[in-house]
Amino acid sequence: MLLGVVLVYLSPPYPNTVLMGQDFLLLHARRMQFARDALFSSGYSLPGWYPRELFGTPFWSNLQNFPFIPTRLLVLLTMDPLGPYAYGVAVTLSAVLAALFTYLYLLKIGLTPTACAAAGWTFACSGFYAARVAAGHLPLLEAYPALPLLLWLVESHIQQRRRGESTRTWLIAIALSSACVMLAGHPQVAVYALMTAGIYVLWRDRIESVKVIWCGMIVGVGCSAFALMPMGMLIARSTRLLALAAAANDVAMPYGRLMAFFLPWRDGVPPLLDLNPASAFRGYPNLAYFWDTVCYIGIVPWIAVLGLLLFFARAKPDEDQRKMATFFALLGLTGIVLSLPIMQQAAAFIPGTIFRSPARLLYLTQFALAVALGGAIQAINATQTAIAPVVVSLLLTLHVIDLGSHDRRFIQRGSRLPAAESKELGRILTGVGDGRAAIDRTPPLLLKKTVDDVGFFDSIMLARPYRMLLSLAGSPPELNIQSFDGSNLPSRALAALGVQVIFTTTARQDLSSYQTILGINIYKIPAPSPRAEFFSADQVRYLPTKEIHQALRDTNFPLSSNLLLAREAMPSVAETYQAGKDQSPKVEYRRPDSDRIECTVETNRPGYLRIIESWDPGWSATVDGIPTTIVPAFDALLAVPIEPGRHEVRFVYRTPGAMAGRWISVLSFALLCGLVWSSGARSHQ
């Protein structure tokens, strides 16, 4: 079984190629490299702030940046994320674990090894999983084994209790596994798995056992609060709670796409899989409708479902078998029903967005179909006829060929940037210095490795800088997007945001081309704003937030010579200074690391020091060692008041909620110890 899984996802590392995964190459690999560089540096610590996108975003707070799940840690600590092996190993590792845990769970409930292996291979090789390899959804892939893992542990606890034996070991495993799955970078799948496991306990056992297992899962999740608490606070100040239009990638399972359970290619495929225009994905608004609705798991599992229906209609299974079959039938149907557009329309009445794409609930259906296949093989073998092994062998052979060939279409390798061109692009990026760049999504990954990009690609963005970027781009204020190419910004906005160079495959008529490498047009921005700049009091305007964004949208408003602050920041007493010979202010900018900014400011006039970095409550500032208030400039950037003279200004970022989360984790671990002790005592009695 495990060898079969490896063969499906095997991708030999041909020279100068990488396993293709769109989101991984554009997003996860760079953040993994950022974390790896920080952890292996002299500080040996994980950064709280990520300056590489937008105007900087929280790093530690966002679990998608750095999941603490063991599989990610193993890959991160042993492999170069930008190398030829990391992604392929991570994909295969998660698939192997999904197969193994499915096997162990079904073995625990009494299926034969052959039936368990067939179900395990099927779940690990489902189209739901394989498609996301090409899409690059690494955090979701890492969370994928969660459901069979939790069901295996819960069932083991139930059986141990029924035998009157101590359940301490299994309770500890349930709690720690609950913590681990919630630390995956895709909490949506983890939550589905935890809820299913909780309902499974209620379905399978008496209320006393339910209470113990539920408590174990709850305190296990509490142990992960050191990461979940900052994540929750980040969501509260992110675009997820803004009144925005529906996101283009918030996909429910279209009724027409239900046919993809049987005809996976009926609506075409994305260009990543086939460049032939005749094969293009059609009939739906965007490609997200393809990636989030791939659900093919083969024809044989559906034959197995029909066979089991006939079996249960004619035979008389015992009560336990009937109960288990009913649970998985309801689980499969629930996944389909809750994924449909009608359920998304009902959920639209709930303000904000927590989980996108209800089509991902098909995760539950995929597992139920895999279990059905195992159950059908068990039923065939139970007939003990001479033809039973032949039927099973034939069905499994057809199934492996059918599903395996479907999956292999998603396993592709692509070329990396040649070394000579990579070196030349690196030389150009070095010249950016403390400024920012604007890079579209088509240039190779290496471009974004060590430079701060004014664009972004994320599902959780800080609300303030997001709104500022939309205003500068002239986009509708209700626009709901997860990706923005900074290269599309007008030159006025690029200069104001400190962008020094653009990398794009699109020709721009408003800028003079500097150089072209491998079809990538490189433009330099004239007179970009410095990363740190002093604005005297007469350059500061205090406006309501709405008027600030109106000014940002006004192409005639001079951004470089004005600083816009919220009206609430206006001093109660007019600022004055002694008349004399004006001196040009001097600002020296330093960045010791991503969590610290230092500036030396010399001026003979009062005003504000503005830093092109996202405002966030985690930032604190001191002027000459004295704490000072940070004011949002342009509603999104850092600014602090400065008096005449020479001053040392320091900004430090500390992750909001990190300390509270750690205390909750410690308390939860203490509660877990108490729960385990009391559970063992009851078992002994």
> Could you report the per-residue pLDDT of 221-235, keeping only the tens digit for each?
999 999 999 999 999
Q: What is the pLDDT of residues 235-257, one digit of tens each?
A: 999 998 888 888 888 899 999 99
The pLDDT tens digits of the residues spanning 454-499 come to 999 888 899 999 999 999 999 999 999 888 989 889 999 999 999 9
Q: Which pLDDT value is given to residue 132?
A: 95
Q: What is the pLDDT of residues 539-557, one digit of tens each?
A: 999 999 999 999 999 999 9
Which sign does the torsion angle of CA 182, 184, 188, 192 carry?
negative
Per-residue pLDDT tens over the stretch 355-406: 778 999 999 999 999 999 999 999 998 888 889 899 999 999 999 999 999 9
Residue 211: inside a domain: yes
143 and 215 fall within a common domain: yes
Higher pLDDT, 412 or 609: 609
Residue 669 falls inside a structural domain: no
State the average pLDDT over residues 78-102.
92
Q: pLDDT value at position 680?
A: 64
Residues 212 and 344 in one domain: yes
Any domain includes 383 = yes
Residue 643 lies in a domain: yes
673 inside domain: no
Task: Name the residue with tokens 């389909």.
Answer: 336
382 plus 366 within the same structural domain: yes
Average pLDDT over the chain, rounded to whole?
89
Q: Please indicate, yes or no, whether residues 158 and 45 belong to a single structural domain of this protein.
A: yes
The residue with greater pLDDT, 84 or 264, is 264
Q: Of 397, 413, 429, which residue sits at a domain end?
A: 413
Point out the domain boundary residue: 394, 413, 432.
413
Categorize the per-residue pLDDT at 443 as very low, low, confident or very high, splitting at 50, 70 and 90.
low
Whether 562 shows a pLDDT value over 60: the answer reads yes
Rounded to 10°, the helix 2-9/127-135 angle is: 40
User: What does the pLDDT read at residue 351?
Assistant: 57
Work out the number of other CB atoms within 10 angstroms of the CB of residue 79: 18
Q: State whether 387 and 292 are in the same domain.
A: yes
Listed residues 524, 550, 575: the one ending a domain: 524
Which pLDDT does position 22 carry in this prediction? 87
**Do 400 and 439 belong to one domain?**
no
Residues 199 and 210: their CA atoms lie apart, in Å, by 9
Same domain (yes/no): 345, 455: no
**pLDDT attached to residue 133:** 95
**pLDDT average, residue stretch 200-220:** 90
Residue 577's domain comprises 532-654
Element (H, E) at 437: strand 436-439
Statement to judge: residues 330 and 220 lie in one domain: yes
On whether residue 685 sits in a domain, the answer given is: no
Rounded to whole angstroms, what are the CA distances from 163 to 158, 159, 684?
9, 6, 12
pLDDT at 642: 95
Q: What are the pLDDT digits (tens) for 659-671?
A: 999 999 999 999 9
pLDDT at 95 over 70: yes
What pLDDT does 310 receive? 87
pLDDT of 205 > 90? The answer is no
Does the pLDDT at position 581 exceed 50? Answer: yes
Average pLDDT, integer, range 289-298: 95
Q: Percent of the chain at pLDDT above 70?
A: 94
The per-residue pLDDT for 685 is 42
Which one has a higher pLDDT value, 42 or 565?
A: 565
Angle at 284 between CA 281 and CA 286, to 5 degrees: 75
Q: Using CB atoms within 10 A of its CB, is residue 12 exposed (0-12), middle (13-18) or buried (19+)? A: exposed
Same domain assignment for residues 582 and 626: yes
d(CA 332, CA 361): 10
390 and 494 part of one domain: no
Cβ neighbours around 561 below 10 Å, total: 8
The sign one gets for the Cα dihedral 344, 347, 348, 353 is negative
Cβ neighbours for 600, distance < 8 A, ≥ 6 positions apart: 586, 587, 588, 646, 647, 648, 649
For the record, the structure tokens of 357 come out as 């794409």
Q: Which of 73-87, 163-177, 224-238 shows the lowest per-residue confidence on average (mean pLDDT)?
A: 73-87
Cβ distance 29 to 136 under 8 Å?
A: no
Whole-number Cα distances in Å, 22 to 29, 131, 272, 442? 10, 11, 9, 11
Q: For residue 176, is it within any domain?
A: yes
The structure's pTM equals 0.91
Residues 92 and 152 in one domain: yes
Please determine, for residue 354, whether its predicted confidence score (pLDDT) is greater than 80: no
Determine the 3-state secondary structure of 54 from DSSP.
strand
> 572 vs 520, which has greater pLDDT?
520
pLDDT score, position 174: 96
pLDDT at 684 over 50: no
Q: Which phi and psi angles does 388 have, rounded to 5°?
A: -55, -50
pLDDT tens digits for range 644-660: 999 999 999 999 999 99
Between residues 150 and 439, the one the model is more confident about: 150
pLDDT at 366: 97
Rounded to 10°, the helix 168-182/207-223 angle is: 40
Domain count within the chain? 3
Q: Bigger pLDDT: 499 or 684?
A: 499
CA angle 236, 244, 559 (to 5 degrees): 90
Based on the domain organization, do 58 and 139 belong to the same domain? yes
Asked, for residue 662, whether it belongs to a domain, the answer is: no
The pLDDT of residue 444 is 56
Q: Is 60 exceeded by the pLDDT of residue 445?
A: no
CA dihedral 53, 57, 63, 69 (to 10 degrees): 70
In this structure, of 267-281, 336-350, 575-589, the range with the lowest mean pLDDT score is 575-589
